Amino acid sequence: MNFSYKIVKKSKHSKARVGKIVTSHGEIDTPCFMPVGTQGTVKTMNPRDLNEVGAQIILGNTYHLYLRPGPDLIAEAGGLHKFINWDKPILTDSGGFQVYSLAHMRKVLEHGVEFQSHIDGTRHLFTPAKVVEIQKKLGSDIMMPLDECVPYPCDKKKAEDALVKTTRWARESLRSRHVASLPGALFGIVQGSTYLDLRKRSAEEIAEIGFPGFGIGGLSVGEPQEQMFDMLDAVTDILPEDTPKHLMGVGYASDILGAVDMGADMFDCVIPTRLARHGSFLTLEGKRSIRLKEFEKDFTPVDPECDCYACRTFTRAYLRHLFLAREITAMHMLTIHNIRFLVRMLEKKRAEIMGE
């Protein structure tokens, strides 16, 4: 397994820490934000853009890449890295989030999940072994086992049933014949919705199985921030300290910074790209719309403190004009800013911890 993790320094004031992940495609300094490249590309961005904003690792979506263009074609191209021309680490998810987001097009079974393709309506069965096999063909550096992500709110019985499946599927994933020759690391995933006892139980069971890193799923699906933090705080006390923790699907500054202080190391979300496509940019206070009338004659950068290409080059007034004129450049520039904003925020957080 081409994967290792070490803690470089712990904060004196919280559970935050600076760490370093080593993979066959390079090193990752944590805490870090990972842009989401669902279809093998981060929307509106290319590898040159991603390198310039400081992205250390990106995500691919196993479900979507399986449907199109297919894992066999990607394997024939030499793996996902070569196919998309990205020479840094890649994390691929399991399709577990699609259990939540495509609830109207799937059926959760005891042995896996049956999806109906959103492209052509064909049906496909994802089992723990098949998900591992697909990710092996993709050649990602960090992989996730099949899990069941439940919505919020969710009754306790349903949350517990999903927890039981997730734990069983995690064991089956590790028993898969494909694991022995995986190019990267298979993480475990903690579920349990917003029930503290279920979260603790899931963390204990997944930790006992033994993984080199852990995803914390089923949060940031509509629950209040306080509840998310309560669940996360409990989980990071249980999972092995010397392993990276990936809080899945979190993309706002206050959520990320709070989670770092509770011991989370890795974050991903479609928020920065999705907001950009709808004309919004990220700030420490949340999101703001570039379409606002107040920006019509505002000849200052989107963020005067940001060092990204968009903020160094263009004004709010110009980007507002481009967005109202439906020019693709506006979405591209706002995406550059939004991703750089989160990457830079965590660069500063790492520096603060190292300086304590």
Q: Is residue 5 helix, strand or coil?
A: strand
93 is catalytic: yes
Phi, psi (rounded to 5 degrees) for 204? -65, -45
At CA 74, angle to CA 121 and CA 82, rounded to 5?
A: 145
Written as one string, the DSSP assignment of 124-160 is EEE-HHHHHHHHHHHT-SEE-----PPPSS--HHHHH
Active site residue 49: no
Q: Residues 9-38, buried b or exposed e (16+ Cβ, 10 A)?
A: ebbeeebbbbbebebebeebebbbbbbbbb
Residue 347: CB atoms within 10 Å: 16
Q: Which residue in 49, 265, 268, 303 is the catalytic one?
A: 268
Helix 328-355 with 316-324: angle, nearest 10 deg? 140
15, two tokens: 């559970």
Which sign does the torsion angle of CA 72, 97, 248, 214 carry? negative
- The set of residues, in sequence order, having a beta carbon less than 8 Å from that of 305 and lying 6+ positions away, is none
Catalytic residue among 49, 93, 141, 255: 93
Integer Cα distance of 219 and 62 in angstroms: 20
What are the residue numbers of the active site? 93, 268
